[in-house]
Amino acid sequence: MTVLHSVDFFPSGNASVAIEPRLPQADFPEHHHDFHEIVIVEHGTGIHVFNGQPYTITGGTVCFVRDHDRHLYEHTDNLCLTNVLYRSPDRFQFLAGLNQLLPQELDGQYPSHWRVNHSVLQQVRQLVAQMEQQEGENDLPSTASREILFMQLLLLLRKSSLQENLENSASRLNLLLAWLEDHFADEVNWDAVADQFSLSLRTLHRQLKQQTGLTPQRYLNRLRLMKSPTSATPQRGQRY
């Protein structure tokens, strides 16, 4: 199995955070690394096999990978990721207690995959861009600034995760995507589905294409193809 080492990704030995874009992310074999990462899916689709369990990922998926997790990417289609790398929750110079903001394993279940809506994804990009701008600076104020931005990122993701933000149409679309994961083999009446999730059909089409790059029917067809017996059988991940 491929092992990725922090020395190849972090700009310096004392850097606590690094940004690693994958635009696009091609299929990549199973691997693990000696650091942690937050995988942010910008757009596109693919299968993320995480500790042996396959998940369908699309724009707005966020995955929290620990240093002992193993994962791979397959069946990628214009899958663009931004990876926010950090050495460990307890390896920050100015931050403590970060574990409380990260997903926690309970009774052997680790809620690794979250979802955020498009507007939150835009805010995430802004925070990541600010972190990238300061990557070459190693002085104490710059280090503190990067770590504060990382804390802001964690707070944003936690507050905006699917189960804590259901009041707008973008979040209802995320619920619809989760529903499709469980009902991909059923006959889908898009008018009825739009009503079920309190979306207009026009909004459903527009937002689903914006998030996945595909029309609703093409997305469903791709989901069925990826879940066919000749492929890995993805399952919907737990959400925070």
| Residue 138 and residue 195 in one domain | no
| Residue 154 and residue 187 in one domain | no
**Which pLDDT band, with edges at 50, 70 and 90, does 157 fall under?**
very high
**Residue 121 domain flag:** yes
Whether the predicted pLDDT of 177 surpasses 80 = yes
**Residue 233 domain flag:** no
Q: 127 φ, ψ to 5°? A: -65, -45
Pairing of strands 2-4, 28-33: parallel
| Residue 48 and residue 152 in one domain | yes
| Residue 191 and residue 214 in one domain | yes
| Residue 94 and residue 138 in one domain | yes
Q: CATH number, domain at 76?
A: 2.60.120.280
- Distance of alpha carbon 124 from alpha carbon 141, whole angstroms: 22
- Distance of alpha carbon 78 from alpha carbon 152, whole angstroms: 28
**∠ Cα 19 178 20 (to 5°):** 10
| Residue 56 and residue 103 in one domain | yes
| Residue 106 and residue 125 in one domain | yes
Mean pLDDT of 188-201: 89
| Residue 88 and residue 115 in one domain | yes
Whether the predicted pLDDT of 163 surpasses 60 = no
Mean pLDDT of 73-77: 89
Kindly report the average pLDDT of the chain as a whole number.
85
| Residue 48 and residue 131 in one domain | yes
Whether the predicted pLDDT of 176 surpasses 90 = no
Contact 201, 176 (CB under 8 A): no
For the record, the structure tokens of 76 come out as 């990628």
- Class of residue 120 by CB neighbours under 10 A (exposed 0-12, middle 13-18, buried 19+): buried
Whether the predicted pLDDT of 153 surpasses 90 = yes
**Residue 239 domain flag:** no
For the record, the structure tokens of 220 come out as 């469903």
Chosen domain end from 164, 179, 209: 164
SS3 240: coil
For the record, the structure tokens of 214 come out as 């595909």
Q: What is the DSSP letter of 90?
A: T
- Class of residue 9 by CB neighbours under 10 A (exposed 0-12, middle 13-18, buried 19+): middle
Structure-model confidence comparison of residues 174 and 66, the more confident one = 66
Mean pLDDT of 221-226: 84
For the record, the structure tokens of 183 come out as 């009902």
pLDDT at 232: 47
**Residue 238 domain flag:** no
Whether the predicted pLDDT of 199 surpasses 50 = yes
| Residue 140 and residue 191 in one domain | no
| Residue 145 and residue 195 in one domain | no
Q: CATH number, domain at 213?
A: 1.10.10.60
Residue 133 is part of which domain span? 2-164
What type of residue is 211?
Answer: Q
SS3 154: helix
**Which pLDDT band, with edges at 50, 70 and 90, does 24 fall under?**
confident
Structure-model confidence comparison of residues 214 and 69, the more confident one = 69
Pairing of strands 28-33, 71-86: antiparallel
Chosen domain end from 164, 184, 215: 164
**Closest among 210, 127, 227, 128 to 173, alpha carbons compared:** 210
**Residue 237 domain flag:** no
**Residue 148 domain flag:** yes
Number of domains in the chain: 2
Whether the predicted pLDDT of 152 surpasses 90 = yes
Beta-carbon contacts of 94 under 8 Å, excluding residues fewer than 6 positions away, are 143, 144, 147, 148
**Residue 77 domain flag:** yes
For the chain, the distance separating the N- and C-terminal CA atoms, rounded to the nearest angstrom, is 29
| Residue 92 and residue 158 in one domain | yes
For the record, the structure tokens of 132 come out as 């990238």
**Residue 206 domain flag:** yes
For the record, the structure tokens of 77 come out as 């289609």
Chosen domain end from 139, 164, 189: 164
